Amino acid sequence: MAKCTCEPAEIMLFPCAGGSNVGQLANQAAVKLDQEGTGKLFCLAGLGGHVQSIVESTKGAKRIVVIDGCPIGCAKATVEHAGFPVTDYVMVTKLDIRKKHEFTWTDEELDRVVQAVKESLES
């Protein structure tokens, strides 16, 4: 049986990774935060599928950070459907970034999302 490498972490990051600039920007922001050592990018699909190892690892989190691209709020709905509270919530379109079916963004837009997550974690 395949073993998951997703060990628990104090701060877990769940971006929606949706099919738009804002969804992928949410994902890229989580990648950057993880690479910087601010939290651990985690497996939203596993949580949505109620995959046991992913659910068990998520129980170890002190902060559950959700980054959604737009107000449809898919990642938040997925995390809550799995029975976990969202402790920190960032929505990319609320940061003055318009949703498009394109997969490009600026470094400044990426920094805006990363910064919004950091500010939430500081509160």
- First-residue to last-residue Cα distance in the chain: 41
Residue closest to ligand SF4 (Cβ): 18
> Which one of the spans 1-9, 44-52, 62-70, 114-122 is the region binding ligand SF4 (CB under 6 A)?
62-70
Q: Distance between CA 26 and CA 91 in Å, rounded?
A: 8
Whether 113 contacts 26, CB under 8 Å: yes
- Binds ligand SF4 (CB under 6 A): choice among 9, 11, 12, 16: 16
In the complex, minimum distance from the CB of residue 7 to ligand SF4, in angstroms, rounded to a whole number? 26
DSSP H helical ranges for 37-106:
44-48, 52-58, 74-81
By CB under 6 A, is residue 79 in contact with ligand SF4? no
Residues making contact with ligand SF4 (CB under 6 A): 16, 18, 20, 22-23, 68-70, 72-74
